[in-house]
Amino acid sequence: MHRPHSPVLLVIAHGSRDPRHASTVDALVRRVRAQRPGLRVETGFLEFSVPSVRGVLESLAAEGVRDVVALPLLLTRAFHAKADIPAVLAEAPARLRVRQAEVLGPSPLLLSALERRLYEAGLTPADKSSTGVVLASAGSSDPEAIAVIAEIAREWRLTGWCAVRPAFASASLPRTEDAVRELRELGCACVAIAPYVLAPGFLPDRIARGAADADVLAGVLGPAPEVARLLLERYDGARTAVPVAVGA
C-alpha cells in the first residue's frame, strides 16, 4: 500500500514507436517497486507511448494525490530535461505539488551498471587492462550533454580500462564505428561497446550496427539493479526540492 506521506514517484520516459522501449521501462519500474515496497510508482511517456505524462498527472489529481516527484528517465540534462519536461509539469493540475528530480547521469551507479552489462556480454575484470571501450551514447545537440559524456569516458578510463572513447549515434561525432577504429589503432587487444542508453530503439539499433567490427557488444542499461537504485536516490533527493509552479 502507498504510504500516505510519501510522494508518488512518476517516472517520465521519452517514449518510442519501438515496443521494446516501453517494455524495458516497465521492467525497470517493476525493479524499483521491488526495491522499495510501499512506494507508489507510475510511468508516463512524453510521446509515442501511453499513458502520457499529462494523463497520469490528471488521474493522480483526480484520485486526491497531492505530492508527486517527477523523475526524468534521462541520462543527461539535454533538451528534454531542460524544456520539454518542465513545460509538461507546469501544466499539471493546480492541486498537485510536483517536484522535478535530477536526471540520472552522471553517477557511479551508472558506471557499475555499464560494467555489469559488459561482464554479462562475456568480459571479466581481468580483461580490463587489454580492452578498449566505446561509451556509445544516443547523442545530443546540447554541448553540456556532450561534455558530460566525454568526462564520464575520461573518469571510467581511470578505473583500469585500456582506453575509453565516447561515441554518438546522432547529432555529434564520432560515430561508434569511428571509435572502434581508433581503439584498434591504439592497439587495444579487445574492443567492447557499452551502450550508454536505457532502452532499445532506433538509436540503440544504430549503435549496434556501428559495433559490427567490435569484439563485444553489451546490452542496454535497462532494468539493471544499479539503475533502479539510482532512481530511488534521485527520488529521495527531490522530496525536499521546491515544487514546480503549476496552474492548469
CA dist., res. 54 & res. 45, Å (int): 9
What pLDDT does 225 receive? 98
Element (H, E) at 87: helix 85-90
Contact 235, 81 (CB under 8 A): no
Question: Is a pLDDT exceeding 80 seen at residue 81?
Answer: no
What pLDDT does 243 receive? 86
Question: Is a pLDDT exceeding 60 seen at residue 4?
Answer: no
CA dist., res. 229 & res. 180, Å (int): 31
What pLDDT does 42 receive? 98
Question: Is a pLDDT exceeding 70 seen at residue 114?
Answer: yes
Q: What order do you get walking across the sheet with 131-137 strand by strand? A: 163-168, 131-137, 190-196, 216-217
Question: Is a pLDDT exceeding 90 seen at residue 140?
Answer: no
What pLDDT does 82 receive? 72
Contact 33, 65 (CB under 8 A): no
What pTM, to 2 d.p., does this model score? Answer: 0.93
Instruction: Name the more confident of 83 and 98.
Output: 98
Comparing 63-72, 89-98, 136-145, 201-210, the range with the smallest average pLDDT is 136-145
Question: Is a pLDDT exceeding 50 seen at residue 3?
Answer: no
Question: Is a pLDDT exceeding 50 seen at residue 183?
Answer: yes
CA dist., res. 5 & res. 32, Å (int): 18
